[in-house]
Amino acid sequence: MPGETIAEETIADVVVVDYGLGNLRSVTRGLERAGAGVEITDDPDDFAAADGVVLPGVGAFREGMENAGPYREALANYAAAGRPLFGICLGMQMLLGSSEEAKHAGEGDVEGLNLIPGTNVRFDVDRKIPHMGWNELAVTRDHPVVAGVDGEYAYFVHSYYALPDDDDAVVAESDYGASFPAVIANERGNVFGTQFHPEKSGETGLRILRNFVDYCADG
Amino acid sequence: MALTKRIIPCIDVDLDEDGNAAVYTGVHFEDLQYTGDPVEMAKAYNDAGADEFVFLDITASAEGRETMLDTVSAVADECFIPLTVGGGIRTKADIKETLRAGADKVSITTGALERPELINEGAAAFGSQCIVISVDARRRYDEEGEHYVEVDGESCWFECTKKGGREGTGIDVIEWAREAESRGAGELFVNSIDADGTKDGYDVPLTSAVCDAVSTPVIASSGCGGPEDMYEVFTDAGADAALAASIFHFGEYTIREIKEYLDERDVPVRL
């Protein structure tokens, strides 16, 4: 738009991985609002030059992993180099090693990215599935991405949730009949994800995206 | 700590005389009145604390379609809350282009009644979470239904209608809700032709019957006149979300006022 000079205010360059699933427009707009220069890419070679990589996603685990297959090595290398990798919703679930969803769908085991050891499990509660709507975040340990959001609400829509092997991987929880991880991170802290959609979580979501962009800028 | 009840403003969008998208709101799906610019309204509701936003394209014309997708994109750019778009969606390609324009969910009415497989196709390709099946229910007091409820001493059933209530289908809403769920609908959006525009309150027997029949989230719509109606549809009918149009558009209540009213009565809301 004429007069808008988003580029001048950009504090970090972020790539959003376009592996063919999901609404990339809203995550892109959210990141831009948070101060990032955003490139949507389907080329793993673009990761190296970026200050951070976002793995978005809605849909099914198997389809997600099939589509993300070509990015597996590049994402693993990026994570191993200690650089910021942010998974959102299905993108977060894909950071783990496996998911009951593929088994549930009769598709056998589907291997995740395994950057945070654990598996994704289906809600086993006497409540409506999917868990859909705004729920409260309880931050359980410090991580830059959750600064300032304890007790705030975020927008969730999911039937499965991440269950990391290591309890310390849980950064924030929410409660739906039972408490479940809402934000997770690896031990080093550079690979993390939110089960909810920050790009759809109003001011709280924008705060998380700003935290992420700041983290990328510091890296 | 709990999942909150959602308060959802809805706008009906049509083309104005100059071919631009404009917001209209009506009574009983007729007598449309002009009330504003869709992008400005979306931005205002986003800032006012709406939990989601619903955009219904009521042009139902080919020439309107492209303008509407541009408008959806402009609305999506201002909306950092979930955006549902409905109106004229009949094919998997329609779902795809609406999602690509920036919608998070699509609301489908007639397209699914005419070809129920559309629900399966949409859910398989894009996930159940983005497939909202909308019903325009009408009370019928004859013997042709399958599921009856007592309303004010009379027995009635609810029929799915098409074309905003102008055409009946003979399909029982409760049966259809169950079928839609089994085909992969992620949410049900329950409109009432009888209550629409009246401001006398939601159709609680209808909403309650649908909530009892399915385990997917139910959005109550039509008839909201104020916070007490939302309270009633959440507590008596078990709705997961409540939608309203005119009470917000005409500034009768703010979203904040509604949420404070509900919060004081222990209905969980995002404040």
What does each of the 219 residues of chain A score in pLDDT, given as a tens digit?
Answer: 444 444 457 899 999 999 876 668 889 999 999 999 999 999 999 999 999 999 997 777 888 888 888 899 999 999 999 999 999 999 999 999 999 888 777 777 889 999 999 999 999 888 888 899 999 999 999 999 999 999 999 999 988 999 999 999 999 999 999 999 999 999 999 999 999 999 999 999 999 999 999 999 987
DSSP track, B63-91: HHHHHHHHHHHHHHTT--S-EEEESS--S
DSSP track, A153-196: EEEEEESEEEEESSGGGEEEEEESSSEEEEEEE-SSSSEEEESS
Distances from the Cα of A131 to the Cαs of A135, A158, B2, B3, B216, in angstroms?
9, 5, 11, 8, 9
Query: What beta strand segments (E) does chain B contain?
Result: 6-15, 21-27, 30-36, 53-57, 83-86, 105-108, 131-140, 149-151, 154-162, 167-172, 187-192, 218-220, 241-244
Write the class of the CATH domain B6-264: alpha beta
- Interface contact flag, B80 A206, Cβ < 8 Å: yes
- Interface contact flag, B4 A134, Cβ < 8 Å: yes
**To the nearest whole angstrom, how far is the Cα of B200 from the nearest Cα of chain A?**
27
Residues 26-45 of A with CB under 8 A from B: 26, 29-30, 33
Distance CA B208, CA B183 (A): 21
Residue B62 is predicted with a pLDDT of 63
- Interface contact flag, A133 B127, Cβ < 8 Å: no
Distance CA B251, CA B43 (A): 15
Give the pLDDT confidence of B200-212 residue by residue, as tens digits. 999 999 999 999 9
Query: Which residue(s) pair with B192 in the sheet?
Result: B137
Distance CA B51, CA B35 (A): 21
- Amino acid symbol at B126: F
B26 token code pair: 């009506």
Distance CA A196, CA A174 (A): 10
Backbone angles phi, psi at B68, to 5 degrees: -65, -40
Residue with tokens 């592996």: A19
Residue with tokens 């990215």: A113
What pLDDT band is residue B26 in, cutting at 50, 70 and 90?
low
Residue B33 has pLDDT above 80, yes or no: no
Q: Report the mean per-residue pLDDT for chain B.
A: 90
Residue B81 is predicted with a pLDDT of 95
Catalytic residue chosen out of the listed positions A89, A101, A131, A216? A89
Instruction: Break chain B into its structural domains and give their ranges.
Output: 6-264
Distance CA B105, CA B91 (A): 14
Instruction: Using an 8 Å CB-CB cutoff, list residues of chain B that contact chain A.
Output: 1-6, 46, 49, 51, 73, 76-77, 79-83, 99-104, 126-130, 186-187, 215-217, 240-241, 270
Distances from the Cα of B92 to the Cαs of A41, A216, B121, B122, B168, in angstroms?
25, 38, 7, 6, 25
Residue A1 is predicted with a pLDDT of 42
Q: Chain B contact for A207, CB < 8 A? A: no
Residue with tokens 């219904």: B56
Residues 92-151 of A with CB under 8 A from B: 127-136, 138
Q: Which of B46, B82, B240 sits opposite A155 (nearest CB)?
A: B82
Pairing of strands A12-17, A36-41: parallel
Catalytic residue chosen out of the listed positions A63, A101, A197, A216? A197
- Quickly name the fold that domain A6-218 has: Rossmann fold (3.40.50)
Of B118-122, B161-165, B184-188, B233-237, minimum mean pLDDT range: B161-165
Give the pLDDT confidence of B101-137 residue by residue, as tens digits. 999 999 999 999 999 999 999 998 888 889 999 999 9
Residue A71 is predicted with a pLDDT of 93
Distances from the Cα of B184 to the Cαs of A66, B111, B120, B181, B187, in angstroms?
22, 15, 6, 5, 9
Residue A3 is predicted with a pLDDT of 40
